[in-house]
Amino acid sequence: MPIRIGAVGYLNARPLVYGLELMPERFSVRFDVPSKCAALLHGNSIDVGMIPSIEYLRGHDVYCIVPDIGIVSDGPVASVALFASKPIAEIRTIAADTSSRTSTVLLRILCYEDLAIDPTFVPMVPDATSMLTQCDAALLIGDPALFLEHKSAGLRKIDLGERWTALTGLPFVWAFWAGRPGVLAPADVGALLSARNGGVRSSDRIADEYCGPGRAELGQAYLRENIRYSLGAREQAGLARYYALAKQYDLIDSADRGLAFYSR
């Protein structure tokens, strides 16, 4: 049976699945929002998922990570942001995208460490108009955040990747491939690494096909300039710092689980 892969459907994850549809005997791929990918993995409905990084600590099972692959930013990320209708100091309520888990925890950390506010978070579906009708600001992730024309709507955009790197000097790891031990053989890991490498080389074409006329240029720049796909020592240091702060502010039950990787 092919390995059941749960991928994120946003533009930023498309380079990671480049060419996997040509290997149906090895992988069966489905696309969902990040929170759904995590729920499917936790429920054993998929074998490997592109999970939000915070979910590595939330699973009942111990997971392994595919080495050297992640969705990472080192500075502005462009696609994870707080959109506000008023100055930061005046924000009292935040509508939090229910597609997001890692980003919500990150924003709570930034509220304490950087923004000096203590707002109420209200989970909502990612619709900017509805969110900002009911709350002072909206946390959006993925395509809804990337393509929102915030200036024409009179909104402030606070880029969470930019604020994190300014605060810590480290990259932020948004998501990575994870699954139960033994699910992936070294050849499977190699296939995922090859898909990543091919996707990075073909990012302009991926953005063009995904975004269509009018948005392709923005999508191409985003994949080239904002998103990185490696999970090296510096990225792991950023991840460790994130986990430590999540534990410090009681945003996660435990941050004691070390990173375990599949063999290459």
Angle at 237 between CA 233 and CA 240, to 5 degrees: 135
Q: Which two tokens stand for residue 118?
A: 């203590």
pLDDT of amino acid 105: 96
* Domain definitions of the chain by residue range: 3-72+172-214+228-248, 80-168
Report the run of H or E that residue 217 belongs to, with start and end: helix 216-225
- Crossing angle for the helix pair 186-201 and 203-211, to the nearest 10 degrees: 70
| Assigned token pair, 70 | 């992640």
Cβ pair 231, 65 in contact under 8 A: yes
The reply to whether 80-168 shares the fold of 3-72+172-214+228-248 is yes
In this structure, the chain runs to a length of 264
- The CA dihedral of 38, 44, 230, 35, to the nearest 10 degrees, is -10
**Sheet of 120-124: strands edge to edge?**
120-124, 93-97, 137-141, 80-84, 156-159
Where would I find the beta strands (DSSP E) of the chain? 3-8, 27-32, 48-52, 64-65, 71-73, 80-84, 93-97, 120-124, 137-141, 156-159, 172-179
Residue that is written with structure tokens 């996997």 in the block: 20
- Please tell me whether residue 61 adopts helix, strand or coil conformation: coil
Angle between helices 216-225 and 203-211 (to 10 degrees): 140
Q: What is the pLDDT of residue 255?
A: 54
Q: Which fold has domain 80-168?
A: D-Maltodextrin-Binding Protein; domain 2 (3.40.190)
Picking from 55, 110, 49, the residue whose alpha carbon sits closest to that of residue 77 is: 110
| Phi/psi at 150 (5° precision) | -70, -35
Query: What does CATH list as the number for 3-72+172-214+228-248?
Result: 3.40.190.10
Assess contact for 196 and 15: CB atoms under 8 A: yes
Stretches where the chain sits below pLDDT 50 are none
CA distance 99 to 37: 10
